[in-house]
Structure 1
Amino acid sequence: MIRDADRTRKKLLDAATAEFAELGIAGARVNRIAEVAGCNKAMLYAYYGSKDLLFDAVFTAHVAEFLVRVPFDATDLPGYAGRLHDYFEDNPAARRLSVWYRLERPGSAHLEAVVEVNRQRLEEVARAQEDGVLARHHPPVALLALVQAVSTSWSSMNPEFDALAPDREERRAAVVDAVRRLTAP
């Protein structure tokens, strides 16, 4: 019987995505990931090398999906902010992966996928500022950080805040309006 390596890798990646999103790197267990994927631990190590490298593969796949589903347009940062807000509202597992990445990997080697995306976006923001499309009162890196923070502000609130928060459409409208005001030239 011939093994389907690509299918096994995908099953491992899917199982690892769920495990890491729920428990982070420290809480995730290789045994559980292998069991859910229907393979043995040795296969996981053969394909990914270590739990950290498996997390890197999961997060790199997350970044690739994110880039497709949340297109970036430096000339329309309010629209981007609305899409970013929607993405994390609709995908709590993706939000948790991002939080785990920031919490558990701050001193690790930087993932090339993330470095390249940030570089491109900062260049686009700088160009839009030079063209007068975006405000220049913050450097590109600060402006992009603020846009991302505003966009994810509702999804990162304490659960107790939910009882006080407006409905989803009002939250989205507040995000888009805040980013519009922040970026208007």
Structure 2
Amino acid sequence: MPGDAAATRRRILDAAIAEFAAFGIAGARVDRIAAASGANKAMIYKYFGSKDQLFDAVFDTIVIQTMDEVPVDADDLPAYTARLWDQFRARPELLRLHRWDTLERDGLGMSAESVRTATAEKVEALAAAQRRGVIDATLPAPTLLTLILELSRTGLDATEPEAHREAIKTAVRRIINP
């Protein structure tokens, strides 16, 4: 049974990712998540407690997935930023969920433990690269991370994606080696 429970939980999370990305928190319907996941509403509430807690679980899931799929590489920040950009282009629901969190919850998801941990790990990786002289230390590591993350979210609908991808890498090179 534990395997079934894990599979059910995963199906619910996958359905919730799609639902929340499409409709936001207020517009999402637990009925649709239940139908899409093959679970019932009672099971969703049993696993997650409430729609807001389900959104929290979704947010944690996407943060952890993104960290696993695109680990920070402070020794090659231009390539890291480009890989992150690729991830956001391939999975637009990631940024949609982030935007819904910002719009409907004033960014509450960004204060989640998973996000704080991921951010701290990235900041430390950048700071360590600055201490080693791999990247310029003019900008504080948290500021540098913010700039890199923002660049990775630009031009996702670019008509010339390769050119935009290269532009992002060039911008990061100039930021880390002024």
**TM-score normalised by structure 2 residue count:** 0.90
Cα deviation digits, residues 6-56 of structure 1 (max 9, x gap) = 222122111111101111111111111112222221111011001111111
Consecutive aligned runs of 4 or more in structure 1 exceeding 6 Å deviation: none
CA RMSD of aligned residues (A): 2.1
Choose 48-57 or 126-135, whichever is displaced more: 126-135
Counterpart for residue 166 of structure 2: 173
Alignment of 1:22-41 (within 5 A): 22-41=22-41
1:172 and 1:77 mapped to 2: Cα distance? 13
What is the rounded CA distance, in whole Å, between the counterparts of 1:94 and 1:119 in structure 2?
20
What pairs with 1:145-156 in structure 2 (closer than 5 Å)? Answer: 145-155=146-156
CA contact 1:25–1:100 (8 Å) conserved in 2: yes
Once the two structures are superposed, residues 73-115 of structure 1 have per-residue CA deviations (whole angstroms, 9 ceiling, x without a partner) of: 1121111111011111111122212222333333637211110
- 2:72–2:125 CA contact under 8 A, matched in 1: no
- 2:107, 2:168 → 1: CA distance? 30
- In the alignment, the residues of structure 1 paired with residue 74 and residue 3 of structure 2 have an alpha-carbon distance, to the nearest angstrom, of 45
Instruction: Give 1:182 deviation, angstroms.
Output: 0.6
User: Structure 1: where are the runs of 5+ without partners?
Assistant: 156-161
Unaligned runs of 5+ in 2: none
Instruction: Give percent identity, aligned residues only.
Output: 47
Distance between the aligned counterparts of 1:107 and 1:87, measured in 2? Answer: 21
Contact 2:101/2:107 (<8 A) preserved: no
2:63 alignment partner in structure 1? 63
Task: Figure out how many residues of one structure are paired with residues of the other and give that number.
Answer: 177
Give the TM-score of the pair, scaled to structure 1: 0.87
Q: Which amino acid aligns with 1:171?
A: H
User: SS of the residue aligned with 1:154?
Assistant: coil
Post-superposition CA distance 1:103-160 (Å, at most 9, x none): 33336372111100111111111121122111122111111101111121112xxxxx
